[in-house]
A = this chain, B = another copy of it.
């Protein structure tokens, strides 16, 4: 039963015996219409299967009620956040136009699309969105917020977890639980997240007299972590040489490191403690049960959307504190010589 003729407020008006304006008001501003009229309109609309056309409304009102989000396609972390974004937008009655990119080079075409659709705001995810792309977006006057992209300070607002403090907290936890040697496994070193997380860890550890080397996996994905495991063992001269703990720059990466080490016969956490960063749902899965810094996703997204909605400052640079969740991927190491 395809609609033969498109139903517009005009058809509804005819059936209801009122003007088109009254129909429009019945939906957009019900209180400006008498109960009687509204009743008639609603009935007519119901029988005709009418729903207001959001496109037309957007054109007239210059506001689409759509928020755009630009995120990398293959990332457990972003998939996690998109779910949260979508839920919160639904609560606010907004829609989510989702743009994903597989390679950073795709970002520019994505930005083009974002601009064309006149979204009310854009959430720019990931460190791979470069300066130029952000300028393009904001130049149209579209509010933008860089999410966990600590670098984008001068162009638009940003909301980030406190990477440095979080990482320091994790490090402090390790020290407290008796770890005396710690190495850091980084993801993509070109990202601010990676640098800040390392810095936070290194500083905190140094204050306890521990020097923390940086070992780069190259990216934040599982495979990178799995692949670096062998290099780690070589680097440290086998299981015996491993530090008490490895702090890994992201959860997904950490899953890879855990699996990679275990595949090579290393026990986590008996031979080495491992921590992550992000607080993904999978981090609580018993197979990993990762000690990690949980990013308060709900709060982060709430702040970010607040910026876009104008509730928060336009050019603010918020930083939200995360918290350590202790899992069984880390534990008090055996005292030297006790093994």
Between A1, A80, A95, A97, the greatest number of chain B beta carbons within 10 A of the residue's beta carbon is seen for A95
Residues of the B chain whose Cβ atoms lie less than 8 Å from the Cβ of A3:
139-141
Residue A255 at the chain B interface, CB threshold 8 Å: yes
Evaluate contact between B87 and A55: CB separation under 8 angstroms: no
Residues of the B chain whose Cβ atoms lie less than 8 Å from the Cβ of A139:
1, 3, 49
Residue A100 at the chain B interface, CB threshold 8 Å: yes
Copies held by the complex: 2
The answer to whether residues A73 and B87 also contact, given A113-B95, A285-B255, A288-B287 and a CB cut-off of 8 A, is: yes
In the complex, what's the smallest C-beta–C-beta distance from A67 to chain B, in angstroms? 11
A contact residues, range: 35 or more
**Which chain A residues in 75-93 approach chain B with CB under 8 Å?**
79-80, 82-83, 86-87, 90
* Nearest opposing residue in chain B for A4, CB measure: B141
Instruction: Give bound CA distance, A1 to B136, whole Å.
Output: 11
Instruction: Give bound CA distance, A67 to B273, whole Å.
Output: 46
Residues of the B chain whose Cβ atoms lie less than 8 Å from the Cβ of A255:
285, 287
Residue A54 at the chain B interface, CB threshold 8 Å: yes
Instruction: Give bound CA distance, A233 to B110, whole Å.
Output: 51
Instruction: Give bound CA distance, A47 to B54, whole Å.
Output: 31
In the complex, what's the smallest C-beta–C-beta distance from A120 to chain B, in angstroms? 11
Instruction: Give bound CA distance, A62 to B7, whole Å.
Output: 13
Give 25 pairs: A residue, B residue, CB < 8 Å, sorted on A: A1-B139, A3-B140, A51-B112, A51-B116, A53-B118, A54-B117, A55-B64, A59-B59, A73-B87, A74-B83, A79-B83, A86-B99, A90-B106, A90-B110, A95-B97, A95-B113, A96-B97, A96-B99, A97-B98, A98-B98, A222-B285, A255-B285, A256-B285, A258-B287, A287-B288
Other contacts beyond A55-B58, A79-B79, A259-B285: 4, CB < 8 A: A49-B140, A54-B118, A256-B285, A263-B286
